[in-house]
Amino acid sequence: MNEIRFPVKTGEYENRFFDSTIWNDFVYRDDDVVIASYAKAGTTLVQQIVAQLIFNGKEDVEISKISPWLDSVYPDKATKLNLVESQTHRRFLKTHLPVGSLVFSPRAKYIYICRDGRDIVWSLYDHQSALRQETQTELNANGEKPGRLRVMAPPQALIVDYFTDWLNQDGHPFWPFWEGIRSWWSIRHLPNVLIVHFANLIEDMPGEIRRIAKFLDTPIDESQWEAIIRHCSFDYMKTHAARYVPLGTGLWKEGGKAFFSKGKNARWQDVLPTELSDQYQRRAVKELGEDCARWLATGKSR
């Protein structure tokens, strides 16, 4: 029988968004859940799904307060570590790191969410537009020690030009796109890793929730099933945005509701020129290989 080989950390990932060194000090528990993705791939939705499974359909779980983006530069490392260390429920954490910058536990469970990069860019554009520019001044004035947190300015380019820059500069103005997907795809065979796709979550939410529950070894209370489904709907989460938006409602317009843009795919299809779409697809195959590129585009293996 072949021994299972788990990933080891190969380097730090530090920029204006990340401080991966926090994982060096984080103490895992055996039932921890780590939810990983590139930005705007469906991370908050999967956090809500996991929360609903852990808390059995409870309505008012505030994932923005209990499920931190652990490797974000804000809030500071001590604040986040103290928060998760004090928790007595099953913990579920968020990361946007590639595998090699994470300390990996053989006993924790990891869920990685994929989404077509073209869909991601359309959501990133809205995401960047939804940030309150006053937030930086407020943080500084209130003495909250934002550290390296710098609120991004609204996009200055039209969406097609924004996409072109993102593709040609690998994730600009955020962080590299292909590396993370490639790294998580390479460990999809591990027993404690589950790969999910945003398109499948939209197409078959109940089926994907049951799939995630099975992976987490979390029995579903059927008497709470309808509540779980309702609480994971886009409309419900947008209505109650304050419970879910990362870093609190003060960062986002409309009291956090602007964080939830459309919750749909394929908005690029009638806007993105064919040659740019084809360029993206060729790049995906080059970076990821045909099987992973197909999965990224469709959520289907064949």
**Which range of residues forms the domain containing residue 260?**
22-298
Q: Per the domain annotation, does 10 fall within a domain? A: no
CA dist 39 and 120 (Å) reads 7
Q: Tell me what the mean pLDDT of segment 112-134 comes to.
A: 84
Tell me which of 256 and 125 has the higher pLDDT.
125
CATH code for the domain of 231: 3.40.50.300
pLDDT at 146: 45
pLDDT higher than 80, residue 197: yes
- Position 35 in a domain: yes
| 255 or 205, greater pLDDT | 205
**DSSP three-state, residue 35:** strand
- Structurally, the chain folds into a number of domains equal to 1
Task: Find the mean pLDDT for residues 115-126.
Answer: 90
| pLDDT tens by residue, 213-253 | 999 999 999 999 999 999 999 888 888 887 877 655 556 55
DSSP of 106-157:
SSSEEEEEE--HHHHHHHHHHHHHTB-TTHHHHHHHTT---TT--PPPPP-S
What does the alpha-carbon distance between residue 80 and residue 151 come to, in Å, rounded to a whole number? 20
> Is residue 174 included in any domain, yes or no?
yes
**Structure token pair of residue 11:** 């380097």
Please list the residues that pair with 94 across neighbouring strands.
Answer: 35, 69
Within the chain, where are the H helices? Answer: 22-25, 43-54, 63-66, 77-86, 117-129, 135-141, 159-168, 178-185, 198-203, 205-215, 225-231, 234-239, 274-288, 290-298
**Per-residue model confidence (pLDDT) at position 258:** 46
pLDDT score for 167: 97
Q: Is residue 16 part of a domain?
A: no
Does 13 reside within a domain? no
Q: Averaged over 138-145, what is the pLDDT?
A: 54
For the whole model, what pTM was predicted?
0.91
**Tens of pLDDT along 8-58?**
999 999 788 899 999 999 999 999 999 999 999 999 999 999 999 999 999
User: d(Cα 199, Cα 117) in Å, to the nearest integer?
Assistant: 12
Does residue 12 belong to any structural domain of this protein?
Answer: no
Query: For residue 135, what pLDDT is reported?
Result: 63
Question: What length does the chain have?
Answer: 302
Phi/psi of residue 220, each to 5°? -95, 125
Is 5 a residue whose pLDDT tops 90? yes
Cα(65)–Cα(179) distance, rounded to whole angstroms? 29
Let me know if residue 188 belongs to a domain: yes
In a domain, 59, yes or no: yes
